Amino acid sequence: MGVAKAWRFSVISANLALLQHPNGNVSSNKHVCWRLRSSAGQQRKPISWSLVCGLMLFCLGLISLFTGHVASDLEWYSQRLVKRSLYFKLDGTTKGPIDIWKSDYAKYFYGCSKRGRKFRNAVREKSSKGYLLIAASGGLNQQRTGIADAVVVARILNATLVVPELDHNSYWKDDSDFANIFDVNWFISYLAKDVTIVKRVPDKFMRSMDKPPYTMRVPRKSPPEYYLDQVLPILSRRHVLQLTKFDFRLANNIDEELQKLRCRANFHALRFTKPIQELGQKLVMRMREMGKRYIAVHLRFEPDMLAFSGCYFGGGDKERYELGEIRKRWDTLPDLSADGERRRGKCPLTPHEVGLMLRALGFSNDTYLYVASGEIYGGEETLRPLRELFPNFYTKEMLAKEELKPFLPYSSRLAAIDYIACDESDVFVTNNNGNMAKILAGRRRYMGHKRTIRPNAKRLSALFMERDRMDWDTFARKVKAVQRGFMGEPDEMRPGRGEFHEYPYSCICEKPLSEVTDNKSGDPQSEQVIKLRKRSKEEESASLGDDNEESFPD
């Protein structure tokens, strides 16, 4: 394009000169620049200044075009070289082998959610705008997101938060209250400087009210401005307000100090009760007594999950009928093409496919597996291929038969025990984009980027369909290739990506330069290099936008 412009400009200049002198000959000495003398002694012809200027501009255009291209190419190649060196030092996306048990680059980052110096203390109960009642919905981990967000919303409204109510009417039919699952006193005391929390609205205040508490539901992903404009006036007028169906009702992108409060509520204030914590730690201890390291796999292959996905898993007409009947529980679900959903990567892997992926990544058959799951669709027949690939296969039921009995009637408490065993594992493997997968992935990033593997289902599904046509080494090599970027490396953390509970980017900080030391050479990594790497990822994510992935039921 630059060549064309330069050429066009020079031709126009020359034509303008000719238009001024139709005969093409200039006799005036004022416009004579020089005379050309031919070897044959021909008559000298005058050259106009306009033509000379046009030729000079054309030459300058070519020169600037050439130098401009050279400069831009040099800049492009230099950026490529810088990025490649940064990725080589700090990213898990290099061509070298990935350590399947831990990230080599986790040491450069740490979880940080301390309140800033300018973050004022919580308002006292008597000075607050009123009492905020929260009705969380869904299973344990869906409720956990709602509780953490409720803390932030109470802070935004300058309200007194009443300990949230848990859902007793969902698919899980668990009548556990907050105090049955979480240490309520710890929750209140840990957040005391951020938000005033009480166990119930004072009886004296309730008796003095003319009307019952006002109830409303806010739209999903509402920003702080919505709460200030639409919710605060009602709270100020009625003094007691209940927000129902409270899950994912707060926007992902909010002020950084509020994000850190989100992290304090989720990763620190929500501590399980002592009975749950003790049994969970016993399971972890028993797994480590058998093997120093273990993998926790959240199969999420229960009938409700499979029905919600709209996928097909090879069970014939019986499977289609059974899952179709369960799918009727959700009135708003559209008709889906099972093959289309698999190609889009929306279908969970079967237990057999999970096992094949792990073996292809390099986990040997003597690796210890902790399998967190409820009722597996297809039962033992579905699990058999995974057991054959990993004989050291354990569940909470296998590890704690008698001790587990008091918890059996309560699905949320059982989920909490699985949560602890998965959180403490060396490697956590998810099998869908459900709430437990998101919550644990975010917590493990916050707690030191512990290895978390999420199957690249879109690419893996094509490989599984063709695995009989290739030898094992080829299959394993391709699995390792498609799983790059899905292994829980720090560079997967991009501002604005997905749910904040899964990617808590505001609560992940770089370690000081003095603490960031290369164990091999003893030389500290350059702080500038780390920041450049972070900046390049942020620029990349700006064009990427939110992932906007569907949330499966908890």
Query: Tell me: the pLDDT tens digits for 230-243?
Result: 999 999 999 999 99
The residue assigned the tokens 């749950």 is: 276
- Find the mean pLDDT for residues 288-308: 93
**CB neighbour class for 444 (10 Å; exposed up to 12, middle 13-18, buried from 19):** buried
Cα 452 from Cα 323, distance rounded (Å): 29
For residue 192 the two structure tokens come to: 């005391």
Q: Are strands 508-510 and 109-111 parallel, antiparallel or unpaired?
A: antiparallel
pLDDT recorded at residue 445: 96
Residue 153: how many CB atoms within 10 A of its CB? 24
Contact 370, 478 (CB under 8 A): no
Amino acid of residue 461: S
Q: Tell me, what's the pLDDT at 15?
A: 41
Q: What is the pLDDT of residue 497?
A: 85
**Mean of the pLDDT values across residues 366-378?**
92
| Distance separating alpha carbons of residues 114 and 68, to the nearest angstrom | 49
Q: What percent of the chain has pLDDT over 70?
A: 75
CB 106 within 8 A of CB 510: no
Residue 43: per-residue pLDDT: 45
* Whether pLDDT at 528 is above 70: no
User: Is the separation of the CB atoms in 373 and 298 below 8 Å?
Assistant: yes
Query: Structure tokens of 116?
Result: 């800033």
- What confidence tier does 374 reach under pLDDT thresholds 50, 70, 90? confident
Q: Collapsing DSSP states into helix, strand and coil, what is residue 428?
A: strand
Q: Which letter does DSSP use for residue 215 in this model?
A: E
CB hemisphere CA count around 503 (13 angstroms):
19
Tokens representing 454 are: 């999420």
Q: How do residues 466-523 score in pLDDT, each as one tens digit?
A: 999 999 999 999 999 999 999 999 999 888 888 999 999 999 999 887 776 554 444 4
- Closest to 320 in 3D by CA, of 302, 330, 309, 307: 307
- What pTM did the predictor assign? 0.77
The predicted pLDDT at position 296 comes to 98
Q: What pLDDT is recorded for position 517?
A: 57
Q: Is the pLDDT of residue 313 over 60?
A: yes
DSSP letters spanning 391-426: SSEE-HHHH-HHHHGGGTT-HHHHHHHHHHHHHTSS
The pLDDT assigned to 428 comes to 98
> 301, 350 in Cβ contact below 8 A?
yes
**Predicted confidence band of residue 53 (pLDDT cuts 50, 70, 90):** low
**Bridge partners for 66 per DSSP:** none
Q: Which two tokens stand for residue 315?
A: 């069970």
Element (H, E) at 508: strand 508-510
What value does the mean pLDDT take over residues 177-201?
98
Mean pLDDT of 90-116: 81
Q: Which residues contact 249 (CB under 8 A, 6 or more apart)?
A: 146, 149, 153, 218, 219, 220, 221, 222, 243
**Residue 509 β-bridge partners:** 110
Q: Output the pLDDT for position 204.
A: 86
Mean pLDDT computed over 184-194: 98
Mean pLDDT of the 528-532 span: 44
How does residue 198 score in pLDDT terms, banded at 50, 70 and 90? Answer: very high
Quick one: what percent of the chain has pLDDT higher than 90? 61
Distance CA(358)–CA(474), nearest Å, equals 15
Cβ–Cβ under 8 Å, residues 455 and 430: yes
Question: Phi/psi at 250 (nearest 5 deg)?
Answer: -125, 140
- H-helix or E-strand containing 368? strand 368-372
Quote the mean pLDDT of the chain: 82
Cα angle 164-166-168, degrees, rounded to a multiple of 5: 155
Q: What is the pLDDT of residue 432?
A: 77
38 pLDDT exceeds 70?
no
pLDDT digits (tens, 9 = 90+) for 54-98: 666 666 555 554 444 433 333 333 333 333 333 234 444 445 688
Q: What is the mean pLDDT of residues 537-543?
A: 45
The one-letter amino acid code at 171 reads: Y
What average pLDDT does this structure show over 92-109?
80
Coil, helix or strand at residue 216: strand
